[in-house]
Chains A and B, each alone.
Chain A
Amino acid sequence: MDINTLSVLMGLTVLGAASGVLGAFALLRRKALLSDTLAHATLPGVCLAYLMGGKQMGWLLMGAFVSGLVGIGAVSVITRRSRLKEDAALAITLSVFFGFGMVLLTGIQRWGDGHQSGLDRFLFGQAAALLPHEVLHLTLACLLILMVVSILFKEFALLCFDRAYAQVLGLPVAVLDALLMGLIALIVVLGLQSAGALLMVALMITPAAAARLWTHRLSAMVGLSVLFGMLTAIGGVLVSAFYGRLPTGPVMVLLASGLFFASLVLRRQ
């Protein structure tokens, strides 16, 4: 194994851990589908940032982050300003944003210099293409996420279980809710290069869902979700590196689903 694969492996292990933690809270706060919509909604942001002239990864990811947040904002506006329920708002937002992103991406690849742009790896992920300094930034950002969640663990737990009671105790619930959603947006963007916009949610929600089947304690669930997330990410890197440059996202989906179905069978009631 070369040094590059090793560094990617390290970065993805930390990414898997952070995804597992946030996936657990996203699942319990019933934000699983919202996270998926957010991930799909990042695509036009990546393309627009590219068209605006920047080819630097940090700039592209900034575009993805902003676009993802706009997507969440759209869901919130639709549910509050119309009589539509959240599922309709999610379906509309996900498809509109992703469709727009695909139009831009195809345009860039056909008419621009885009066949070398590498933008298509934002669709399905290509972990092996991560450069060493990108791995470093990814790792630091994920460690920051893990730190924030470990500091606010009891607050996030109470927010997910009983938001009204958290408010009665004087917790800043709106700020905590926004922060949790911001962290979810951050992890989705961090995972774009590795897992891709279409399948990033698999690295978050599936390990958490598998972990949920094993335990009735939140701390144990989060711990297991971290473990499953790391296994998924490591497996994704190794399989896609050694078997003919398969895109990492689909490989991780299959691995995470394997863990989930095994949990389902072993823990059936």
Chain B
Amino acid sequence: MRLEIRDLTVVYNGKPAIHNITLTVHGGVLTGVVGPNGAGKSTLLKAILGLVPRAAGEVWLNGVRLDKPRGEIAYVPQRGSVEWDFPVNVLDVVLMGTYARLPIGRRPGRAERDWALECLRQVGLESLWHRQIGELSGGQQQRVFLARALAQNAPVYLLDEPLAGVDAVTEQVIIEQLHHLRDQGRLVLMVHHDLQTVRDCFDEVVLLNEHLIAAGRVDAVMTRENLQRTYGGKLMFLQDMD
């Protein structure tokens, strides 16, 4: 399993958001994308998914060029990207993960429901399957999004800050599930905001600030010099990291 990003550039309103990113990410590895606010971390994921137009560059998955994904990448967007008072319950949302395999016109049936419930069980929410999604806590909503991605059963997982502002239980469940996906040989790429937990969470890390600063094993990448280049003067707790 190999995801190759070649010379990827995205421009927002005439201003480049990410420049010439070239990067290879492997299956069976949990990779974090780390950088300051506005570094283009979410943009990188969206550009891989074809959700924002690419000004230049290509994405290749296992030697096949990927312009418009067709369900081979499971995506966990930021929680704020949808309206949580939409009239659907928890199970409805998780079932959406199965739509990639259902032809147009086919509704999810018994098999899809059982599978979606199994995915909810994995994130510890099976007892809340009938709840309207707006009634859940922020952490539970994040787990519903993860369950939807699990239901997609894809070889590649892209997650946009799933640990931002969630409770301790949710954090533990999400990390556990990501480790599980990695151990199955899947490719997991996750945007992360908290420098202090990078060493605990990831095998490899990508430092990004519009440009690619460094990528590779956590110990090799998380050096004082690399972090200084990524965060500039904004990094106040370098000493704690050493």
Contacts and interface: CB of A to CB of B under 8 A. Distances in A.
Nearest to B131: A216
Given A154-B102, A154-B108, A168 B49 contact: yes
A218 interface: yes
A146 to B, nearest CB: 14
Given A152-B105, A162-B82, A168-B49, A216 B100 contact: no
A212 to B, nearest CB: 7
A259 B11 CA distance: 49
A70 B75 CA distance: 36
Interface in A180-224: 212, 215-218, 220-221
Contacts of B70: 169-170
B88 interface: yes
Contact of A158 (B69, B71, B81, B96): B96
Nearest to A167: B51
Contacts of A220: 87
B75 A165 contact: yes
A78 interface: no
B121 interface: no
Find the residue from A158, A169, A221 having the highest chain B CB count within 10 A: A169
Contacts of A161: 82-83, 86, 88, 93, 96
A43 to B, nearest CB: 33
A152 B105 CA distance: 6
Contacts of A167: 49-51, 68
B69 A218 contact: no
A151 B104 contact: yes
B104 A152 contact: yes
A168 B105 contact: no
Contacts of B77: 162, 164-165
A151 to B, nearest CB: 5
Contacts of B89: 216-217
Interface residues of A, number: 25
A155 interface: yes
B51 A168 contact: yes
A100 interface: no
A217 B108 CA distance: 16
B92 interface: yes
B82 A151 contact: no
A217 B99 CA distance: 18
Interface in B58-79: 68-71, 73, 75, 77
Contacts of A157: 88
Given A167-B51, A168-B49, A218 B87 contact: yes
A96 interface: no
A70 B197 CA distance: 54
Contact of A170 (B83, B86, B100): B100
Find the residue from A151, A153, A154, A220 having the highest chain B CB count within 10 A: A154
Given A169-B71, A217-B89, A218-B92, A164 B104 contact: no
Nearest to B70: A170
B107 interface: yes
B51 A164 contact: yes
B132 interface: yes
A105 to B, nearest CB: 39
Contacts of A154: 99, 102, 107-108
A221 B104 contact: no
B150 to A, nearest CB: 14
Interface string B91-103: 0110010011010
A28 interface: yes
A168 B87 contact: no
Interface of A: 28, 151-155, 157-158, 160-162, 164-165, 167-171, 212, 215-218, 220-221
5 contacts: A154-B107, A167-B50, A216-B87, A218-B88, A218-B92
**Which 4 A-B pairs have CB atoms at the shortest separation, nearest pair first?**
A170-B70, A216-B132, A169-B100, A168-B75
